[in-house]
Every structure is written in C-alpha cells, then in structure tokens.
Structure 1
Amino acid sequence: MTGLEKNTRRIFRNHGKALWVALDHPQFSGPMQGLEDPIKTIGKILPASHDGMILNPGIFRLLPSEAYQKHLIMRVSVGGTCFSEYSKIHPVVVDPVQALNEGADAVIMMLILGSQDALAMESVRRHIEAYHRYAIPVVVEVMSEDYTMNNDFQHVYAGARIAAELGCDIVKVFYCEQFHRVVETCPVPVLLAGGPKNLDILEGAKEAIRSGAKGFAFGRNVFQNENPVEMIGQLSQLLEG
C-alpha cells in the first residue's frame, strides 16, 4: 500500500464512508448566514459526529486544537468572488508543502465543465500530480459553468468519470436522476454535494447512499440549519445504515 492509498483510506474510516461539513463558501461570498464567525460555528459543531470539514487556507491557522481530531480538507482553488463573473477555470493557489504545513489531510479543487474545460482539465491534472508527489489525497468537485445544469444527469454522469480519469482520489458532485449510474461508472469514491439549502436534502442523501455514494459534503444545509448538530447526527445515521 502506498502512502497516498493509506491517507485516502483514512478519510473513510467511518464504516467506509465520510461525512464532511463544507465551510468554504466565504471565499466566494464573504460573510454569510451561519458563517459570520467561522470559528464560533466550528466550535459549535465540533462535538457532532461528522468526520471532517472543508475549509479555506486562512481558517486553518485560526482553528482550535480540538478541530484537528476531524479530517481537515483544504480548499486550494479559487473561482472569483460575488463581485465578478464566476470563473470557468479555478486556479490552484496553494502548493502541497503549504497544505501539509497547515495540517490538511486532503485538498479539494474545482473542475468546471464547459467552454474552457480543456484548460481546466490541464490545470486539474497538473495539480493532482503535484499533490500526489506528497501523498496528499485530492478531491475534485465537478460543476458546470451553467449552474442550472449541475443536477443534469449527463453533466454529473460524465463529469464524475472525467474527474476520475484525470487521477483524483475522490469526486464530489451534485445529485441527479439515475445517480446509481454515476457511482457505478466512477472508479473512485463519490461524495454527494449539498448545494443550496433544501428541505428535501435528507431524501436526496438517502437515495445517494442507496445508489452507492460513499458519503456527503454538505454546507448550507448544515451550518444554516437551526440545529446543525442534530442535522449532522441525522446524516451520520444514514451513513451507518
């Protein structure tokens, strides 16, 4: 077993599955409901049963020591801000040594499908290789440049496989119809992304697990919930079957 394989397996220590809370949204939006004070929010949810958190680089150095009991996934790509047009290519702005020095257990970067996807693919592939030299697992989050297509079967179905073919260790995608086909044809673990706050998120999560997904990476549906710890508990129960 290689160091990369060992580090990837560690991420799925919870019955072979993983539950992450995504707290990286302010890199794009600035302060938002539920993340006005990110360290306070992190402290509030730390006792919950999630396995890890997705965080921006600047938050790592502010974390309480207890946070390192969770898996910490660093968002290493950027896509502009709420004041600009959403970028079709998300540059990677954190190098592997910095990610290791900050205590990241894995990194996550974006692959945008659409008019600039050849350049986006080249960037993703090049940075996957750079992180793998240091045995750092890479999560690729797949989105369409047309946000309305992120739940479209063809986009999710093809996008998950494309990300895997580029060499990532884990794929993060939105839910779509025939989700089982997405999982069946993707040779690496698939995590379900949450997207906008949705009252039906638990139903989608149940179906994703039935379809073979290896877990969830949910943000607004958790940190904007009236009781985020309870929501995490419900999601954790789904993973435990």
Structure 2
Amino acid sequence: MADTDNLKEAKNYYPEIPQRSELFFLKGSNSYDWGMKNRLARIFSPTSGRAVMLAFDHGYFQGPTTGLERVDITILPLVPYADALMLTRGILRTIIPASTQKPIVMRSSGGPSILKELSNEQQAVDMEDAVRMNVSAVAVQVYVGGEYETQSILNMTRLVDAGMRVGIPTLGVTAVGREITRDARYIGLAVRICAELGATFVKTYFVPNFETVTAACPVPIVIAGGKKLPEPEALKMAHDAISQGAAGVDMGRNIFQADAPVAMIQAVRKVVHENMRPEHAFELYQELKNSPAVAQA
C-alpha cells in the first residue's frame, strides 16, 4: 500500500479543459466496446485506416493448393510484411510461431471440400477456441444466393453473437457461386446483408462500379485477391479498390503465387497504405525482385 505520510494534495484537475473522447478511426466501428476496437486497430492501421491481410486459409477446402504445399517455407517469409494473417486454427497451431505479434483472423466456418457443394458450410470453430488462440477476428463464409444461403448466414450471426460477448470481431466473407454474376449489384447485396446482420467487416470481390458497393456498406470492406493475376494487374486491382473506398486487401494467391512473393507483398503495401500508383508499385516490385536480399528470402 502506498505510504500516506506527506501525501500531496491533488491540484491539477484542469477544469478549464473539457475531456475529449477520441472517435475511432474505422468506418462504422465507433460504438463497439474497447476490446473490439483494440482488436480492429491491430488489423487496420490507425494511421492509414487500411490493412494488408495475407490470406492462406485455402487448405480448409482445397487441400495443399499451389504455393501452400509447405506453409512453413512459403508463407513465413511473408509474415513480417503483412498487417494481419488469415488462416485456419490448424496452421496457426502447427506452423505460426507463438512469438508472432501479427493479429490473427481465424477461419471459423467449413465442412465441404471442393468435391461437394461449397455453400453447405457449418460453423467449424467454437468462440472459446478463438479466445484460447488469442485471435483478433474470426472469419465465416456467407453464400448469398447459394443453395445453403440461410444456413451460411446463420453461421455468421451465431459467430457475431458469440464474438460480441467476448469482444472478437467477425469478418463476413462473401462467396460467389458458379451460377451467379459477379457484378456491383450482387456484391452490393451480399456485403450489405453481412453488415446488416452484424459482420464487423466484410471481405468481397472487386468489381466495376465498386464505389457503389463501399458507399452502401456501413462497415469496412477488404477485397479478396481472387484468382492469380499478372503482377501489374493485381497491383492495379488493389489500387482501384482502395481509390473506390476499400479499407484494404486480403490477398493470397496474388502474393504467394507471385514470381517474387516477398517483393509483391511489399509493393501491395505501398499501394494500400501510401496510395502508390500501380505502375510505380510494379517498378518497385521489379526492383525488389532483382535485389539479392529479396531473392534469398
């Protein structure tokens, strides 16, 4: 206990200065509790308001896809350059060093493989395990227009409710089925449904007229990288998405399947956090690709 002898009387109350409560920097997130906002501030940079998430959760339904055969060899060199890691709990437990300070967005839905109807997912991770793993967010697939649309939406709402109880955000990931046209009308519908039903932030695909999607969504949107593109096209997609209101990217194949993944993720960072033009980012990519340090990574 503090010594009470010679205790000085408090006097610096600053009554002439009103107390200020700082508004949270992230769209639609100011009313969350402190723990929820703190976790979001680990994923998204408070300086730029954006995030470069590295997605390598593909194995939960695709198995050992190209570039992820050995996550310990191909992904660990990329970790220092990512703002957040999106992965499964199996890879988190077995591959990612517990000493990492990177925030974790943990895939929490699953079920069918690529051999079956993908929309038939269930909640696959209990929130108790997410707390145990000290994750910063959980991610769940939502199949708007899919055969199991309602089931996938309820998977998300259950995670949202559980996350609210413990202060863990939920990322709603919109999935586009083979029979659905990927355009602003559909994407706008899907992300709005996720947001309306409680998703803290949403991952979706970049499409023409994307500014209408971001404008109508009350929570942050990060774009999926999608299928592998030539590096200049992937950088342009990231730039166009950011310029049209995206709060970041959650890229996988366009980074870990690039000719020089370490160079690519650094170029993507410049686009996302510093608004670098895609042509300049590609020049940076080529420069880094040819540097000995990056070549050895």
TM over 0.5: yes
2:56 equivalent to 1:33: no
Please give the residue correspondences for 1:88-103 in structure 2 after superposition, counting only pairs within 5 Å: 88-103=119-134
AA aligned opposite 2:79: L
Structure 2 CA distance, aligned partners of 1:65 and 1:59?
10
Q: TM-score, normalised by structure 2?
A: 0.76
Aligned-residue CA RMSD in angstroms? 1.7
Contact 2:54 2:82 in 1 (8 A): yes
Tell me the TM-score normalized by structure 1: 0.92
Q: Which residue is equivalent to 1:85? A: 117
% identity of equivalent residues: 32
Q: Which moved more, 1:185-194 or 1:11-20?
A: 11-20
Higher relative contact order (CA 8 A, sep 6+): 1
| Unaligned runs of at least 5 residues, structure 1 | none
2:267 partner letter: Q
Q: Which amino acid aligns with 2:109?
A: S
Partner secondary structure for residue 171 of structure 1: strand
Higher mean C-alpha displacement, 29-38 vs 215-224: 29-38
139-148 vs 201-210, which moves further: 139-148
The superposition leaves residues 173-217 of structure 1 with CA deviations (integer Å, 9 ceiling, x where unpaired) of 001111001001100000010111012211111110100100000
Instruction: Kindly tell me the number of residue pairs found equivalent between the two proteins.
Output: 238
Query: Does 1:5 find its partner at 2:40?
Result: no
Residue 253 of structure 2 is aligned to residue 220 of structure 1: yes
1:63 aligns with 2:112: no
Once residues 89 and 131 of structure 1 are traced to their aligned partners in structure 2, the CA distance between those partners, rounded to angstroms, is: 22
> 1:58-207 to 2 correspondence within 5 Å?
58-65=90-97, 68-86=100-118, 88-114=119-145, 115-146=147-178, 149=181, 151-199=182-230, 200-207=233-240
Gaps of 5+ in 2: 1-31, 276-297
2:100 is matched by which residue type in structure 1? Y
Q: Which amino acid aligns with 2:75?
A: I
Q: Distance in 2 between matches of 1:177 and 1:79?
A: 32
Three-state SS of the structure 2 residue aligned to 1:73 is strand
Q: Does the Cα contact within 8 Å between 1:157 and 1:182 map onto a contact in 2? A: yes
Q: 2:277 aligned with 1:237, yes or no?
A: no
